[in-house]
């Protein structure tokens, strides 16, 4: 069971996983050793899945975001496994979700420019049969990031 200090630790680590344990301990009013033990417990319990570095997309040369909406006529486990393998091999696809509703999947694709979408599209359709693919180009990021709310954690 998480307490308020655990939640604050998680919030600070989401904002900056590189924060020193000393600074984090000060911010949550704990000793360094107590803070370190809590972080270790949060890692062991799986509340902290991993620590990552977030790269600047402009500086990395992939400022454009395209969302590809996919419909398929196939829903077998074999087809889904093949689809997973196809998209796993394309680094520009940074997220993929299976959906309810009119579309079966949505892919979040980061690109150097919108014209590069055709390269990714061809990589996918050469390897797996799709019924329909449409794409939407993100004009502006209104809210982004990878932080999630910590208030629901148990």
Residue 153 placed within a domain: no
Tell me which residue range forms the domain holding 131. Answer: 58-137
Residues 38 and 77 in one domain: no
Residues 86 and 27 in one domain: no
Which token pair is 47? 């509340």
Q: Could you read off the pLDDT of 60-92 as tens digits, one per residue?
A: 999 999 999 999 999 999 999 999 999 999 999
Rounded Cα distance, 71 and 74, in Å:
9
Residue 26 placed within a domain: yes
Q: Quick one: which of 69, 71, 62 has its CA closest to 114? A: 62
Residues 37 and 64 in one domain: no
Residue 149 placed within a domain: no
Rounded Cα distance, 110 and 98, in Å:
18
pTM for the structure as a whole = 0.89
How many structural domains is the chain composed of?
2
Query: What's the CATH code of the domain at 85?
Result: 3.30.70.920
Q: Could you read off the pLDDT of 12-55 as tens digits, one per residue?
A: 999 999 999 999 999 999 999 999 999 999 999 999 999 999 99
CB 128 within 8 A of CB 86: yes
């Amino acid at each position: 069971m998480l307490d308020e200090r655990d939640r604050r630790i998680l919030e600070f680590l989401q904002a900056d996983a590189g924060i020193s344990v000393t600074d984090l301990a000060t911010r949550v009013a704990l000793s360094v050793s107590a803070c370190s033990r809590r972080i270790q417990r949060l890692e062991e319990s799986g509340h902290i899945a991993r620590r990552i570095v977030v790269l600047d997309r402009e500086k990395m040369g992939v400022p454009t975001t395209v969302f590809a909406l996919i419909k398929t006529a196939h829903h077998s486990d074999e087809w889904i496994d093949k689809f997973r393998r196809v998209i796993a091999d394309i680094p520009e696809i940074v997220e993929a979700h299976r959906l309810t509703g009119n579309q079966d999947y949505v892919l979040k694709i980061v690109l150097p420019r919108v014209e590069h979408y055709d390269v990714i599209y061809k990589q996918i359709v050469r390897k797996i049969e799709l019924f329909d693919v449409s794409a939407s180009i993100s004009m502006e990021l209104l809210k982004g990031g990878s932080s999630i709310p910590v208030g629901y954690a148990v």
